[in-house]
Structure 1
Amino acid sequence: MRWMHTLAVGAFLTVTMALPAAAAVDVSGYRFEDTNKVAGKDLKLNGAGMRTKFVIKVYAAGLYLPEKSKALAEILKQDGPRRITLQMARDVSSEDFGKAFMDGLNDNVDKAEKQKIVAQIGKFGEMFAGVDGLKKGDVLHIDWIPGSGTVCELNGKKLIESVPDVNFYNALLRIWLGDKPVDRSLKPALLGDAR
């Protein structure tokens, strides 16, 4: 009887060790957990990748959603909170980050839609003026929280009061996931196509 117990314990340990741990995704040394809690809800890592500019690593990005999806239209319609996390791989001035933000919006949001969110764009732009650049190792969370709005935190510190329009948050997501994404190799990674 004892040998059956030993055999059962050995089999259990073998199976347990073979199961994948609830591991994080590693993007060039930057870690993204498989789940993240935003506004009390568990979000799933949809995908993660590295933003590069002329082969220079700028930041690692991760997209968290209530349900994984590879289609932008579905992502933009999802209920519940959403999160994009940027982990800085180099220092970036507020001016450069703000310019990249505006370039990304201009490339992916048409004039009529931009007119509807112009006040929110201005409010978000104020954030860049209030931050003395982003440093290597900084972590920026850009969250959509239903009933509150778009909320940004830098290293755990809230940067601006919430921006309430979901259309604004969806416009932000298009910077990375739109027709002219800021980085063509990052888009499929965030959509879960390149892990």
Structure 2
Amino acid sequence: MKRLSIIALTAALVLPQMAEAKTVSGVELADNMMIAEQQLALNGAGVRSKFFMDLYVGSLYLATPATNVDAVIAQPISVIRLNITSGMITADKMTDAIVEGFDAATNGDSASIQSSIDAFMGLFNEEVSKGDQFTFVTHKDAGVTSFKNGQEQATIANEAFRQALIKIWLGDEPAQKSLRKNMLAK
């Protein structure tokens, strides 16, 4: 039964419902997606930029619209998706940015989730290229399942890690404040 759910989840990620779509920085984003038999809607999306260069489009999908990080964390399922739009992003740069994000998301105290962070960082060993898509499906009390270009990479079953991951983009010290604002747009 669990295997069937994983297959259904993978199919939902590989074949997003594109009936209606929003375009952000040249990336088409589905208005809705089905995850684990749960209909999620695009809550918001924006661009992560640095030195006037667009690096990626970040999008947030939720069952119930949310305008703050606590409301996102409280949801049983949420999806954060990153669509890489720049060839300037490498695996090393992605790793550095995410390590910095975890440091900010945990107020510099990531020791309790360090083993989960290390496992997660192992997902970025392969090169990152323009056009890659990272999808982080978060399940309250079950952790995070990570996908790259629709292929499941791993599940990290740690609630504190899940919350910290969400806070990288939506917390008090996000990767970029304008991106957080746009992801929490509704």
TM bracket, shorter-chain basis: 0.7 to 0.9
**1:111/1:185 CA distance change after superposition, 3 Å:** closer
Q: Distance in 2 between matches of 1:76 and 1:86?
A: 18
Q: Larger Rg: 1 or 2?
A: 1
Q: 3-state DSSP class of the match of 1:33?
A: strand
Show the 5 A alignment for 1:111-126. 111-112=108-109, 114-126=110-122
Matched residue, 1:159: 153
User: Does the 8 A contact of 1:39 with 1:145 survive in 2?
Assistant: no
Q: Is the 8 A contact 1:105 1:175 kept in 2?
A: yes
Identity rate, percent: 28
TM-score, normalised to structure 1, is 0.80
Indicate the structure with greater strand content. Answer: 2
Query: Whole-Å Cα distance in 2 between the matches of residues 147 and 104 of structure 1?
Result: 21
Deviates more, 1:141-150 or 1:44-53: 141-150
Unaligned segments of structure 2, at least 5 residues: 1-18
CA gap 1:46/1:40 in 2 versus in 1, 3 angstroms: same
RMSD: 1.6
Equivalent residues in 2 for 1:16-27, closer than 5 Å: 23-27=20-24
Does the CA-based 8 Å contact 2:73-2:140 persist in structure 1? no
**How far apart are the structure 2 equivalents of 1:135 and 1:40?**
31
Aligned partners of 2:166, 2:140: CA distance in 1, in Å?
A: 16
Distance 1:146 1:78, change over 3 A: closer
Deviation per CA, 1:39-82, whole angstroms, max 9, x where unpaired? 22111111001110111010011101111110211111112x21
Structure 1 consecutive aligned stretches of length 4 or more whose deviation exceeds 3 Å: 145-148
Equivalent residue, structure 2, for 1:127: 123
Per-residue deviation at 1:180?
1.5
Is 1:150 the equivalent of 2:110? no
Unaligned runs of 5+ in 1: 1-21
**Match of residue 39, structure 1, among 33, 36, 39:** 36
